[in-house]
Every structure is written in C-alpha cells, then in structure tokens.
Chain A
C-alpha cells in the first residue's frame, strides 16, 4: 500500500513525471486510497484549528508586536515569568495540583476497591459516584455557595462544636473548598478507570495467592498494585490535566478576580485576553505547552516501561 503512494524514485524527466501524476490520480480513485482519504477531514481540521495557529503563536511569542514583528527572542517569556500575576497564578495552580492530584488518585482507587469488594448494591453505588459528572457545573456552584458561604451550612454545622466561623471562599481556606469540589466532580470517572483495571487482573493469580493463605494486605501491595500501576499513572496525569481546568468552578464561584489564593492560570489568561496582549498570551501558552509535553512524554515512556513489566 505504501509503495503505491510513493512510486520508486527515478530520473525526473517530464515523461516519468507525467506518469507519476497519472499513477497518483489512479491511486486517489482506487480502493486502497480510502483509508488515507478518511484521515483528511480530521487532519485538515486539526491542522487549521490547532497545529498551524500554534506555530504562529510560537512566532508571536518571539516578536515585539504582531505589526512591527521585530525579533526579540526570549524577552516576552522573561517578562511573563517576571509578571507577578503570572507567578501567583502559576504557584496557585501548582499548589492546587500538588494537593488534589494525589488525593484524587488515592481516593478513587479506594472507591474502586470498595466497589470491587463484593459489597451489596454495587451498581447503585457506582451510579451515585458517577452522578456528579452529569450535573452542570454552574448549578453545582449554587450548592457549593450555600454550603461554604460565611453564613452557610458548613459554618452553621461547625458552630455546634464551638468552631468559629470561617470565610471559606475569601481566605486561604479557599483552596480546600476547590479541592473538595474537584474531588467530588472527578472521583467517579477515575474510579471507573480503576474498576476496569481491577477487572483485568488475572483471576487465577489472586486465587492462587488466596489458596496460599495470602492476607489482604499482601494481595494488595504485592499483586494488585503491580497491575494497577499503569492506571495509577494514567489517572494521575488525567487528574493533573483536570486540575488545570478547575478554573471553571472557581470562575463560577467567585468571578474574574477571586481571592488571591484562588487566582489560577486560566484567570491570568482570561484577563490577558481582555487586553488582547498577544505576546504575553502566546508566551504563557507556550510555557504551559512545554510543561505539558514533558508530562505527556513522561507518561508515554512510563507506560511503555510499566506495560512490559506487567506482561512478564
């Protein structure tokens, strides 16, 4: 099939070129071309809307402004990194990810194991853990406000134990509220990933271990965890990416300019969009893209390694 697409190289006389052209036309109308043509609509779309503008952005991030187009190399990056708003946004986003990602992985794994432990009503429990996926973020935010407001339900409840009122959304505790919201929203999806991984653990290995008198802890740490490791990694990366998206909830809870500890990278981007500062925007986007490519690359390498490990 490949040979048809690339006819053997020969000297470039006009006749052969003509022949090549005809061959190519013939190929295009032939049956074998169908899989190639299938890719076209999607590839063209991805090129136009993601890849090509991305390279334009790399260009923009290195010129002084889109009209003058004077090459300034890394100046824009340096000014973005030095920008206090960007620094705070990056730091907040990082802090949030560092807290929420491990929690998301561990808790969803525990939930999956809970549902895997042959308790009754498993399917009902699964439904309720998945339920948050269905609920529009905006309507959930209403409830979150009712609970975490200064005069809200949680403070009311805590006051029964003599704990003083906390202004959850407008203090450093704000991150806790968002972490809870993030976990509530994402645990179900992650749990399903873990459940399907648990299902894929060969039954006979567990059975043999049980026969040999292995306890629950041994079975978990020595057997299950090994098989779950690729999923742990994947869920970790997925949660990391989702943790960058948490802006959505924060925006709906607190608007464009939230309390300092809740000012995330997307806030920075949105507010920069308003000034249409292409240099700043593109440099920030590229910085983020570089971080993402490193993370995704690590995922690929790790998945290859872990994959081999389990197949042994």
Chain B
C-alpha cells in the first residue's frame, strides 16, 4: 500500500496543480477499497484453508465424538461405490477434548495403514530421484545442442508431458505387459521416471545460462562434463528443489496409475487406499489423511518459495 501512495504522491508533485485534487480524493477511496479487497481475500483464504483445517481438527477427536457428529459415514452401495448412511452431519471445527486415540489406532493397532504409507514412499521416492537425474542430464543436452532434430525431440517431449492419463496409461499398460512388470511397482516407477515434466522445466532454466559463461569456462579448459557439474548444476540448484517438490506432490497423490497398473491391492499406495476406508472408520480416515499430509505439508512449510518458483517456471511452453 505504501508504495502505491508514494507513486501517487510522486504523480501529484510532478504534474503539478492539475492532478492533486483527484489524487487526494482517491487516496481515501483507495483506503476503503484496500479494506474491502483485504476482507475479500481473507474470506477466500478461509474457504481455501477450511477443508485442510477440518481434516486436521477432526483427526484429534475421539471415535465417539466423531460418531456423534458424523454418524456412521460410509457404506458400500450395490455398485461398489461409497454412500453415506448417516442421518445428520455436524461440521465441527474444534474437538471437545483433544484425543490421540485415532492416531494410536492407526499407528499401533492397524499396521495396514503404515504398510500403505510405506508403499507410497517406495513408489514416489525413486521416481523423484531418478526423474531428476535423467532429467538434468537430458536438460543439459537440450540446452547445449542445436538443430532441427533437437527441436523436434523437445516438441515430442512436451506433447508427451501434456497428454492426459487417458492417453498415456494405455501405452504404459501395454509395455508393462510386454516387459512382464505388470502388477509390480516397476510398472509405476519406470514410466514415472521418464515423464518429461522435469526435463521441460530444467531445460528452460539451463537455456537461460549465458553462453558467455560456458565459453569462458571452455577457454579455461573445462570439458563438457565439468561445465555440467560445476556450472549448470549449481545454477539449477533451486530449480531442482522446485521440480522435486512438484513431482513429489504429483505422485504422492496418484490414483489413476495404481488402479490400472496394479491389480494386487497389497501394493496400493495410501492415496488409493485412503478412499477405501469404509463404514465406522471415518475418524481413522481423518487421522490417516493427516499423517499422509505430513510430508507435503513439511515441504510446503520449508519450500514454499521453491514451489512458487517452480510453478512460475512451468508457465509458458517455450520459455
């Protein structure tokens, strides 16, 4: 706000007598508008935060309190879908008494949830690591090489990146079938590693590295490997973090791939399993959901700036 008023003051003093009246009037108006906008933003922010807050708050309620508020929530209907059978639902934001009983059940009594959590981890971590490794190499060559062929390959990468699951899952299924990795974790991890998203963002950033910097290094006798290791990688450090966070979030929430590529529900990640928690366990579902949120929330808390940077890099196809 202060910057804006300064601007207006400057405007007034530069153009002299003509403008000030209008500016002085609008100063007061501006203040009111600012207030309205702030209130509006706050209301929007509340809506955006509410579901997250509700999940966390409800995970600290005891089973009986949950039951009193939500009744028995889920039941399987005849189509295999889920349905409410509760008569009345109360939204409740603050637990009567903070209780860790749901967490206790999840962590110590039902090893299934932890197992599924672990399933998620061993699917997502290799994808993030190896996608970053292959992508930073590929991005380097996209940034260094020239020519028509490179451009065509890059275009193909973008097309693959933008294809929705409806298209890419069919080829994935087919090749997994041929390689006999269907219904194993590899069926999800391998295509995940080669998804071109990271290549796309990293090559955008590497292309911005000034050629003069690289030429100077070459004059000093640096080889390509040294340029890659000592110039490009350090300059891409924050971008690597950004991409890692974005890729992690994407796969941490995966639903489509496991449903199609894994038939053994033992291998399902928690993101799919969470939806299958049914009747009488709604409280547990809140606790599991909260636990499942922890990795992404931590990344968010410590890496929000990287995340924002990463999103900003992803804007525009050619960069």
Q: What is A's interface to B at a CB cutoff of 8 Å?
A: 1-2, 31-32, 34-39, 41-43, 45-46, 48-54, 56-57, 111, 114-115, 117-121, 124-147, 149-153, 156, 184, 187-189, 192-193, 195-197, 207, 210-211, 213, 230-231, 234-235, 237, 241, 244-245, 247-248, 251-252, 254-258, 265-266, 269-270, 273, 278, 281-282, 284-285, 288-289, 292-293, 296, 299-300, 303, 307
* Subset of 7 A-B contacts with CB under 8 Å: A31-B224, A36-B145, A130-B300, A137-B255, A258-B81, A270-B260, A292-B162
B82-96 with Cβ < 8 A to chain A:
82, 84, 86-91
Q: Shortest CB–CB separation between residue B22 and chain A, in angstroms?
A: 7
Q: What's the minimum C-beta distance from A76 to chain B, rounded to whole angstroms?
A: 13
**B48 A57 Cβ-Cβ under 8 A:** no
In whole Å, how far is A74's beta carbon from the nearest beta carbon of chain B?
A: 18
Among B4, B141, B172, chain A packs the most CB atoms within 10 A around the CB of B141
Q: Which of B100-108, B233-241, B306-314 contacts A (4 or more CB under 8 A)?
A: B306-314
How many residues does chain B have at the interface if contact means C-beta atoms less than 8 Å apart? 117
Task: Tell me how far the C-beta of B20 lies from the nearest C-beta in chain A, rounded to whole angstroms.
Answer: 12
Q: A35-B144, A49-B175, A131-B300 are in contact. Are A292 and B167 (CB under 8 A)?
A: yes
Contact A156 B89 (CB under 8 A): yes
User: CB distance A139 to B55 under 8 Å?
Assistant: yes
Which residue of B37, B199, B256 is within 8 Å of A247 (Cβ)? B256
Is B158 interfacial (CB 8 A cutoff)? yes
Asked, given contacts A34-B223, A42-B199, A140-B51, whether A51 binds B81 with beta carbons under 8 Å apart, the answer is: no
Question: Are the C-beta atoms of A136 and B289 separated by less than 8 Å?
Answer: yes
> A254 touching B137 by the CB < 8 A rule?
no
Q: Given the known inter-chain contacts A134-B293, A247-B256, please indicate yes or no for A119 contacting B158, CB distance below 8 A.
A: no
Q: A54-B171, A150-B84, A303-B318 are in contact. Are A135 and B91 (CB under 8 A)?
A: no
B49 at the interface (CB under 8 A from A): yes
6 residue pairs, one from A and one from B, having the closest CB atoms: A255-B81, A139-B289, A45-B194, A53-B171, A34-B224, A42-B138
A93 → chain B closest CB, angstroms = 9
CB distance from A260 to the nearest CB of B (A): 12
| Residues on B with beta carbons closer than 8 Å to the beta carbon of A50 | 160, 168, 171-172, 191, 194
Query: Is A139 within 8 A of B292, CB to CB?
Result: yes
CB distance from A22 to the nearest CB of B (A): 21
Query: In whole angstroms, how far apart are the Cα atoms of A151 and B88 in the complex?
Result: 5
Please measure, in the bound complex, the distance between the C-alpha atom of A42 and the C-alpha atom of B139, giving whole angstroms: 9
B-to-A contact residues, CB < 8 Å: 1, 3-4, 7-8, 11, 14-15, 19, 22, 34, 37-38, 40-42, 44-52, 54-55, 70, 73, 77, 79-82, 84, 86-91, 134-135, 137-138, 140-142, 144-147, 153, 155-160, 162-175, 190-191, 193-194, 196, 199, 223-225, 228, 249, 252-253, 255-256, 259-260, 270-272, 274-275, 282, 285-286, 288-290, 292-293, 296-297, 299-300, 304, 307-308, 311-312, 314-318
Tell me the bound Cα distance from A114 to B42 in angstroms.
Answer: 11
Given A46-B160, A135-B51, A234-B317, the answer on whether A146 and B228 have CB atoms closer than 8 Å is no
Distance in angstroms from B82 CB to nearest chain A CB is 6
Question: Are the C-beta atoms of A34 and B41 separated by less than 8 Å?
Answer: no
Q: Do A193 and B166 touch across chains, with their CB atoms under 8 A apart? A: no
Q: B238 CB to closest chain A CB, in angstroms? A: 15
B256 touches A248 (CB 8 A): yes
The answer for the CA separation of A196 and B162 in the assembled complex, in Å, is: 21
A52 / chain B contacts, CB cutoff of 8 Å: 175
- B299 to chain A: closest residue by CB: A134
